[in-house]
Structure 1
Amino acid sequence: MSIRRAQPLLLPAPARHTATVIWVHGLGDTGHGWAPVVENWRRRQRLDEVKFVLPHAPSIPITCNMGSVMPGWYDIAAIDGTAESLSRSEDEAGILRSQEYFHGLIQNEVDAGIPGDRIVLGGFSQGGAISIFSGLTAKVKLAGIVGLSSYLLLSTKFDKLVPKPEFNKETPILMAHGDCDVVVKWELGDKSYRQLKDMGYNVKMTTYKGMGHNACLEELDEVEAFLRERLPALDKDGEKPES
């Protein structure tokens, strides 16, 4: 299947480039949809050494939306908020195509001189789900992984899809979810969190009371703090500051 992909939106580091965040939008959106959030993080001058890569999903038919063509990282057969509908008939081929694409984006940064442990992969909803999946199956160790309002893809066979040895077994994973989400229900996010925890991953999940399928200011502040922790500015010799 031939997929046409637009070049990602790039927001260069204001200072020297020592780290990269690849931030992934959700179904029906584009990289431009998250640009204002990223710009707000950048305005605070706390992530001056970080380049942001905001990719755009290709336009594909989405079954649960009556086959309408829209930006998507993989097809979704049905979506009623339940774990069963999202996991039933998962688009494994589409998921693996997107996984390959994100592994390529990570490799592009490594080839440009940014080590894996200075790269964070994260996103919202479908973007968060593919970030968790692609991050944990990456063949370089990452600095961190973020999944907002998301879940674990191909969860019944996930343990068979990770590389051996695993490079990101101990990589910090930040998950966050609203308890009033009717699109990707909190119960599915919590189930994914518990599965990852039980498999030994370094995962944390924050629940935001009263939040639906969106992001709140407190959640975005939490993500910013995570990025600052995982991608601190380096000293003049290129070393991380002592904690």
Structure 2
Amino acid sequence: MIKKTSLILIMGILSFFGFKSNKTDNITYEKQIEVFKALGYEFADGVTKEMILTDGYGEPMWDQIRKERLKQIEEKPFSRLYFYYGWRSPKIPTLNFSDKCIWFDLEFIDSPEQYIWFMKRMGTITDGEIEYTEISIVVDDENYEWIHFKVNGISKKWKLQKVGYIADSFFKRFSYLPDELKTKGKYTYYDDGGQQFVIDYATESEQKEFNEKTGLNREWLDDGNHFNEPK
């Protein structure tokens, strides 16, 4: 069990830029954008290079951080920029930088509503192949939270953790649904060595092409031991 902590988005961004990457060859920001676009990734209207390079900082620091962040993005190509396709900001009309993936951290769950938000987004990134509806959180007599929902019309409920704790097995459960629903795509997982991660959705061929063109090692969500198995 992981104790919930308050979400501070700016601190999340700052800690993210301490991660390590296996990439060593510099690639310009513009070239990375071009490759991502060829893979089907485009930022929403309102997301600019300036926003990406200064997000999370006050304007007096922009000149300094703009140079530092661009250097980090180009020295660790595709890895750093990929996270931003899953980011969100109230400065964007649609809030989300794109509908392709989700940049997340277990500590972002500071209330039950975050489970609901995340599940809805897990449907959005499948482009309609998996749809989550009628989502609600229920607390039982033993103070455990349960998430009740329908996925593609099928009623389900998943046990989470006691109120005040994070159930990281919640994330693992999503990896089982594509086989059950016989979808074309599956959920993917990527991190850069830290606790923050990106959840995406891809077919076998899309996964192969993504890793080949970016040089990243994006895995399937059910690979590795990133999250606990549900009990």
Report the TM-score, using the length of structure 1 for normalisation: 0.29
Greater relative CO (CA pairs within 8 A, separation 6+):
2
Larger Rg: 2
Report the TM-score, using the length of structure 2 for normalisation: 0.30
